[in-house]
Structure 1
């Protein structure tokens, strides 16, 4: 009986200690700042106590729950409660235990790259192994599985490849300006990590490889362009709606 009492007392002290840690961390947080389990320095054996502490503080109104495992410190203003920004939500959803597990793609990406002026009504996150839709507060998140296994240093290259793959879906695009911007982004990537760009590109669909090959050829990367050409079916046509005046070598790549 004495042993059980000692264990209970020890657990109670640990839980009190975690509650104190959580309160101190929340006091340091800025209003609207997103907080996840990773923001609290606890070991795996303390996660249950951490979850209980956060849940208890949410019920008390000290923090607000955004979604499972994600909370924020509220603040009332004349415009209502301060909540985490969409950018912060995306960053949080793209990481796990401090490691990047995904990145933004889709319309949000096209907007960031300056390829469209339209603002997305939902956020598209490319991840390694998830395909689902979820709501985080009022933000709709669409998780889409990446066509390739990637690491954090690949994200800039993957985003350009995603823009090439989604070329036809870019709303209100100016084809000439879009191609010029993509050429510039590819030129910057090629200067630092052409080999990795090619490795990733080979996991994308043929139309993406054809468009990348045509652009690389225009930039003078003949060897890399030929490598992509060899990965394509010479009889397949790619309907991208790009005129010859914009992409002078489009016929060589069966782009129409």
Structure 2
């Protein structure tokens, strides 16, 4: 089967509105030039459309015209490299989904350890930030939670106490393995994150050994000032939080 026929068959099986690139088409790098010509022909036939360099989609046709992929599909190609996740969405967009703020962001933030991802394409706009750890499918959600602890004083339309209340609920829903992962990655974050994670977990009556690691990582002489009342986080004094 020719490369052109192979690409056409794979695309035929893809759902409308799903973005795809050369990796999804299982094309070896040495054949990218030939593949580009085949994809160009498919564009001229209006079977696919180009999103950005190396990223395409099958348009969904309705009585109102052709639909573009939804936001998540447009973002997906930027979060993966060679089929592996290398980045995740963070900032206000993520905090809105977590229920920490009602505000929406005009620009989102993309966190990655290995690359800087800036996007400026129609409704999809993003600024690059550096993640505190290598990003994978197994840890990106945990890293997003830790980002919320880090930005706790900068989350719009929410007070520190409101954010802690909401994050406490989220942490109660984590599995024991997820909590262990949370603690492990928290150790890579600034002291205020380590302290807050420890205080919230302790307030949630978590008694795992990981709490000792978080506590030992803190300097007792460094006070974290968040203007919290004792009633808002009863364990705060144990973690040098005011």
Residue equivalent to 1:84: 69
Q: Which runs of 5+ in 1 are unaligned?
A: 1-13
Question: What secondary structure is seen at the aligned counterpart in 2 of 1:55?
Answer: helix
Distance 1:47 1:97, change over 3 A: same
TM-score, with length taken from structure 1: 0.82
The answer to whether structure 1 residue 159 and structure 2 residue 155 are counterparts is no
191-200 or 211-220: which moved more? 191-200
Which of 108, 111, 114 lines up with 2:99 in the alignment? 114
Select which of 122, 135, 148 maps to 2:133.
Answer: 148
**Hey, what does 2:170 align to over in structure 1?**
185
Matched residue of 2:103: which SS?
Answer: coil
Equivalent-residue separation in structure 2 for 1:194 and 1:47 (angstroms): 43
Bigger CA drift: 112-121 or 70-79?
70-79
CA distance in 1, matches of 2:228, 2:44: 56
Counterpart mapping for 1:225-240 below 5 A: 225-240=211-226
After superposition, the Cα gap between the structure-2 partners of 1:250 and 1:22, relative to the gap in structure 1 and judged at 3 Å, is same
SS in structure 1 of the partner of residue 114 of structure 2: coil
- CA gap of 1:42–1:133, structure 2 versus 1, over 3 A, is closer
CA contact (8 A) 2:17 2:59 kept: yes
Q: Does 1:104 align with 2:89?
A: yes
Higher helix share: 1
- Which of 183, 205, 216 does residue 198 from structure 1 map onto? 183
Q: Out of 4, 9, 19, which is 1:34 matched to?
A: 19
**Count of residues in Structure 1 that have an aligned counterpart in Structure 2:** 241
The alignment's C-alpha RMSD in Å is 2.4
Aligned residue among 124, 131, 141 for 1:139 = 124
Contact 1:111 1:119 in 2 (8 A): yes
How far the C-alpha of 1:200 sits from its partner, in A, is 0.8
Q: Deviations over 1:168-210 (max 9, x none)?
A: 1211115444323211222333523443322211101111111
- The Cα of 1:246 is off from its aligned counterpart by 0.8
Task: Find the aligned partners of 2:73 and 2:137 in 1 and give their Cα distance.
Answer: 17
1:32–1:84 Cα contact (<8 Å) kept? yes
Tell me how far 1:95 sits from its aligned partner: 1.6
Deviation per CA, 1:227-254, whole angstroms, max 9, x where unpaired?
2122122222223343322112323323
Residue pair 1:95, 1:102 contacting (<8 A) in 2 also: yes
Distance in 1 between residues matched to 2:23 and 2:117, nearest whole Å: 23
Structure 2 distance, partners of 1:106, 1:79, is: 34
Matched residue, 2:237: 251
Relative to structure 1, the CA distance from residue 132 to residue 33 in structure 2 (aligned partners, 3 Å threshold; closer, same or farther) is: closer
How many angstroms does 1:109 deviate by? 1.2
Asked which structure has the greater CA Rg, the reply is: 1
